[in-house]
Amino acid sequence: MKKLLSLKDQPIIKVLTGMRRAGKSTLLDLLEEAFMAAGVPKAQIIHLNFEWMALDEIRDYHQLYALLQERMRGQQTVYLLLDEIQLVEHWERAVNSLFAERRADIYLTGSNAKLLSSEIATLLAGRYALIEVYPLSFREYLMFLPEAEREADAAFQRYLQYGGLPIVPGMPQDEDLIQTVLSGIYNTVLMKDIVQRNAVRDPDLLERIVRFLTAHVGSAVSTSKISGYLTSQGRKTSPTTIDNYLKMLSDAFIFYRAERYDIKGKQYLKTQEKYYIVDIGLRNALLGFHGGDYGHILENIVYLELRRRGYEVGVGKLGTLEVDFVATKPGRKVYYQVSASILDETTRARELAPLRKIPDQYEKVILTMDRTFVKDFDGIRNVNIIDFLLSDV
């Protein structure tokens, strides 16, 4: 909301992207309320969701342009809030024309990365600001809870189990009920945003790849590794098909890919990347609410938090050693290692070793669930994960 309001009336198209049910439509609702509270007449706000049945016949850019011209009649300037715009074929042509006419401040949402494919990005080049919408951060999750339930340690355990989709914290914390709701969201995303939109011929194969990635969040993944798993399941396929399905999952914001970054060579590598799921609750709904790989779950949560904070996030490679995350944004670089605990001396030495061998002087942080008085290991900051998630930096 802060980003959107800071861009109000700026000559740029505002684009919200993210997984279905992450809160994009609610953000547009809140934005409309904020505009009216600031004195914008309701007649100057045109708010349309292309999943509404009333707009079911608006499916190409000619129809979209005609509809908006009709709605804009009699208004000097308007605020256009267009939800799930990717459902309109070649919508970008109508939006580009309206933007060029300088009669509208335009806000768009979409649940698929193809919303900004290379062709569209070329047409709108330099004319849009992209704002990624994720499920609730832990700090936002606490804000959604009744005051009596905001004790951080206990709330974090529920967050680890049920995730941060906005519908979850307001529900009865019943495992069966939440699993039913999360499974429904997952199936909707899989069917509407992947299978139907991409005309997937083998949904079963796609489902098997999803379950493989879900079970291996935070582990290095390759096409050959996935292929080997599928072969063991009696499903042979081609590397091209696997690559296509991985791209579809990324485009629908179910998984995010973290490429390996060669710390010494200062370049990204194209092999053995890692995948992180958009929401831990979805992971647990697929695999069962039984805990599982605690360390990689924490790693997944930290990865998403760094992305929320505007970092580009890679997996650091230093010879044979690995740094969990290399987080960069203009003017800042931070190395992060994530571990459930480093109270054991052997574990502590193993987790600190990659950070200690990094040759530059950028900030280095180890994140754990420990509560200790040791705040620093030879210049490497030791930070509790919950404290990190609740901080501003």
Query: For residue 170, what are its two tokens?
Result: 């307001």
Residues 99 and 146 in one domain: no
CATH of the domain at 95: 3.40.50.300
126 and 29 both lie in a single domain: yes
Exposure letters 67-90 (e unless 16+ CB within 10 A, then b): bbeeebeeeeebbbbbbbbbbbee
Q: If you search the block for the tokens 């300037």, which residue do you land on?
A: 77
Q: How far apart are the first and last CA of the chain?
A: 18
Task: Return the biggest CA–CA distance within the chain.
Answer: 72
Mean pLDDT of 270-288: 91
pLDDT band at 110 (very low <50, low <70, confident <90, very high): confident
pLDDT reported for residue 24: 94
Domain boundary among 116, 132, 148: 132
- What is the number of residues in the chain? 393
The residue out of 100, 132, 164 marking a domain boundary is 132
For residue 275, the SS3 value is strand
3 state SS of 193:
helix
Q: Which two tokens stand for residue 252?
A: 């629908």
Place of tokens 């861009």: 7
Q: Is the pLDDT of residue 336 over 90?
A: yes
pLDDT of residue 25: 93
Which candidate, 91, 87, 81, places its Cα nearest to that of 119?
91
Residue with tokens 């499903």: 235
Domain match, 90 and 144 both: no
Residues 217 and 358 in one domain: yes
Half-sphere exposure of 81 (CA within 13 A, CB side): 22
Whether residues 116 and 147 fall in one domain: no
Number of domains in the chain: 2
E strand or H helix at 270: strand 267-277
- On whether both 229 and 339 belong to a single domain, the answer is yes
Q: Give me 191's structure tokens.
A: 């069917």
The reported pLDDT for the residue numbered 328 is 96
Q: What angle do CA 246, 294, 299 make, to 5 degrees?
A: 55
337 neighbors 352 (Cβ within 8 angstroms): yes
Instruction: With beta carbons less than 8 A apart as the criterion, state whether 107 and 80 touch.
Output: yes
Among residues 117, 132, 147, which one ends one of the domains? 132
Q: pLDDT per residue over 169-219, tens digit each? A: 989 988 999 999 999 999 988 888 889 888 898 999 999 999 999 999 999
- The string of pLDDT tens digits covering residues 69-104 is 999 998 888 999 999 998 899 999 999 999 999 989
Domain assignment of residue 18, given as a range: 2-132
**Cβ atoms within 10 Å, residue 297:** 20
Nearest to 2 by CA among 310, 319, 356, 323: 310
pLDDT, residue 292, reads: 67
Query: Residue 167 in contact with residue 285, Cβ under 8 Å?
Result: no
Segment among 222-226, 296-300, 301-305 with least mean pLDDT: 222-226
The CA–CA distances, whole Å, from 359 to 2, 78, 161, 351 equal 37, 54, 38, 16
**204 and 123, same structural domain?**
no
Which pLDDT score, from 0 to 100, does residue 133 have? 94
117-121, 142-146, 358-362, 366-370: which has the minimum mean pLDDT? 117-121
Q: Where are the beta strands (DSSP E) in 18-125?
A: 45-49, 78-83, 104-110
Query: What would the two tokens of residue 202 be?
Result: 């083998």
The Cα angle at residue 68 between residues 72 and 73, in degrees rounded to 5: 25
Say if residue 103 is in the same domain as residue 186: no
Query: Which pLDDT value is given to residue 119?
Result: 61
- Exposed, middle or buried: residue 291 (CB in 10 Å: 0-12, 13-18, 19+)? exposed
pLDDT at 312 over 90: yes
The answer to whether residue 291 scores a pLDDT higher than 70 is no
Provide the whole-model pTM: 0.92
Instruction: List, as one string, the DSSP characters of 85-108.
Output: GGGSBTHHHHHHHHHHHT-EEEEE
Split at pLDDT 50, 70, 90, the class of 111 is: confident
Q: What DSSP designation does 137 have? A: P
Mark whether 309 and 207 lie in a shared domain: yes
- Percent residues over pLDDT 90 in the chain: 71
Looking at residue 118, its pLDDT comes to 60
Q: What is the pLDDT of residue 132?
A: 92
- 102 and 159, same domain (yes or no): no
The edge-to-edge listing of strands for the beta sheet with 312-318 is 220-221, 267-277, 255-262, 312-318, 321-329, 332-338, 363-368, 380-384, 376-377
Query: In whole numbers, what is the pLDDT of the chain averaged over residues?
Result: 92
- The answer on 179 and 100 residing in a single domain is no
Co-location of 152 and 242 in the same domain: yes
Q: Which two tokens mark 377?
A: 């290991």
